[in-house]
Amino acid sequence: MRVLQGITGAVVVLGIFSSVLRTLVIPRPTRSGFTQIVHGLVRRPFQLVADRLPEAESKDRVLAPVAPLAIVVTLMGWLACFMVGYALLEAAVSRLPFQDAMVESGSSLFTLGFASGSRVTLNVIDFCAAATGPVVIGLQIGYLPTLYAAYQRRETEVTLLQSRAGSPPWGPEILARYAQVELLHSLTELFRNWERWSAEVSESHTTYPVLIHFRSPKANRNWLIALLAVMDAAALRLAFNPSHPKAEVRLALRAGFVCLRDIADLRGIPYDRDPHPDDPIELTYEDFLHGVARMADQGYPMERTPEEAWPHFRGWRINYEQLAYWLARDIDAVPAPWSGPRRTTVAVRTPVTPVDRRPVG
């Protein structure tokens, strides 16, 4: 029995140490089963409530605390598991009942010292437990500034996009607004910025997966919908304007769907790595024409007709549509045109962006 307790305790302690290292220390995409389970359990009751609410704003208010709460619960789960693991080890190397071993373990883990005794056989385990508690808490405290710095960098660009793409953002709206204010020459800068943004999000959201579920400060903003809008704008630009510079547009588009694929690889989402340009997409030609009409209303110049541009646009969108729709449903992103259905709502076809008007005279 004591041998079994010792083996179980060692497995628990080493397994939780592995989870801590994978989550807080190792600077590369790694999956921790423990944190995934905790985050899923924390999110489930909030998601059940959100699924029963009709308004996107109400859903956002319910889901906003999930990711920060999951971080706190994960820390508490780590400490609780360490306490149980060290208690099993102490019960194995001494004749303490498990209840007394839990008191000894908790006293050492949280450096309280009230249960310390003269048992020489427990000194090493007590010292390890006493070091574990502060180290794990210190790592978590040091982890938070890095996490929130990545979140703030992500949201800065999303917020800047609001005046350029509407709220929530929409790909055709980006081109329409740039045409409206006669700034189409500045699109290169926009795509260059979002190429870098995609690279940063790919790195931060695979290293710290909890960021995927961090929601924007405003209910009508979302990092994934913003990225999808920029990618759609890039695909439309390539489809309708083949004579214009393509380098920055194509790089931004590729960086965007590479970002989505990196996140999908981390989460174990299957997808076609080499889709054929003629494969079907979920966006209908009717919805495509609706977006093109918005661009035409604001004077966006088009070198191809919609019929000629549609195959080119579809050939680009096939690279990212499936993953974008899956992730938008998974995180319950704000409903927006061309972004697919959500968990409890159908796809949005009518643009919800306001119409800016130029001064007359």
Same domain? For 133 and 178 the reply is no
The pLDDT of residue 361 is 45
Query: What percent of the chain lies above the pLDDT cut of 90?
Result: 55
The pLDDT of residue 349 is 58
Q: Is residue 108 in some structural domain? A: yes
Q: Is residue 102 in some structural domain? A: yes
pTM over 0.85: yes
Domain hosting residue 212, numbered range: 166-330
**Domain tally for the chain?**
2
d(CA 298, CA 177): 7
**Does position 134 have pLDDT exceeding 90, yes or no?**
no
Same domain? For 218 and 326 the reply is yes
Q: Average model confidence (pLDDT) for the chain?
A: 88
d(CA 232, CA 226): 10
Average pLDDT estimate for 165-194? 90
Residue among 229, 194, 253, 213 nearest 339 (CA): 229
Long-range contacts of 245-249 (CB under 8 A, 24+ apart): 245/188, 248/188, 248/191, 248/192, 248/195, 249/187, 249/188, 249/191
User: What is the distance, to the nearest Å, from the Cα of residue 163 to the centroid of all Cα atoms in its chain?
Assistant: 23
Q: In which band, very low, low, confident or very high, does the pLDDT at 302 lie, cut at 50, 70 and 90?
A: very high
**Residue entry with tokens 């008007």:** 357
Average pLDDT estimate for 99-107? 84
Q: Is residue 70 in some structural domain? A: yes
The pLDDT of residue 38 is 93
The pLDDT of residue 120 is 57
Identity (one letter) of the amino acid at 60? D
Same domain? For 90 and 217 the reply is no
Q: Name the burial class of residue 127, with classes exposed (0-12), middle (13-18) and buried (19+) by CB atoms within 10 angstroms of its CB.
A: exposed
Same domain? For 44 and 119 the reply is yes
Same domain? For 204 and 323 the reply is yes
Query: What percent of the chain lies above the pLDDT cut of 70?
Result: 92
Assign residue 41 a region: left if phi > 0, alpha if psi is -120 to 50, beta otherwise? Answer: alpha
